[in-house]
Structure 1
Amino acid sequence: MSFLSSNPRLTQNEGLAPAYNSQSEQPFAKPPVAIESYIQDLIEQRYQEQPEASVVCAWDGDFTYRQLNNLARSLVALLSAQGVAPEVFVPIYFEKSRWTVIAILGILHA
């Protein structure tokens, strides 16, 4: 905090490591690479490669890719039974937890 109070205006990125300084001088030197996949497809691919790897580490617990896949698929079945399909709006609202990822992934798959 004393650094910030004695240097209220950081004009030369003094607080950043040298690697970050060079990147910030030309932030758009390399355009981002477009990925032609949906996030749920990338997660599915990683599940196939490493099903027991940890994917969610949250304050209320962890999930492996296998657990994530199984729980999300169960949610997809429940959502589909309630009429959720592509282009159907599904609001979600709850505190941050490991279950947030399950809800989002289940909705994306439904």
Structure 2
Amino acid sequence: MAEAELDGTSTDWVPAACTLPTVEQPVRLAEFDELLATAVRSVYRAEPARLCLEFDPDPEVAARVAELMVRESGCCSFFAFALSMADHRLRWDVTVPTERVRVLDALTARALAGGNRG
């Protein structure tokens, strides 16, 4: 993946291991972007292969994150997801194997850009 792909303007960064049909990838990306643009409170890398996203501690947001997490696990089995709630913080940890860190880099860039809204 080239650095230019991290800007979020294409789905070229989606790895070949993803089994989501190509035609559906922009739709899924839009779902991620909408969630990232509307509910993320903070974004940080706990380690190179783990991204931590904190969201508004809202039941509807938690349901959206959980639903997206389950669907994404079905097509990109290399992701490991953990959703937790503590101290009024809803946290979504996204972990990948070392060889998939570039995918996590792209997701991090999208999250930091607020779902690439601007």
Q: So what's the TM-score if we normalise by structure 2?
A: 0.31
- Greater RCO (CA < 8 Å, at least 6 residues apart): 2
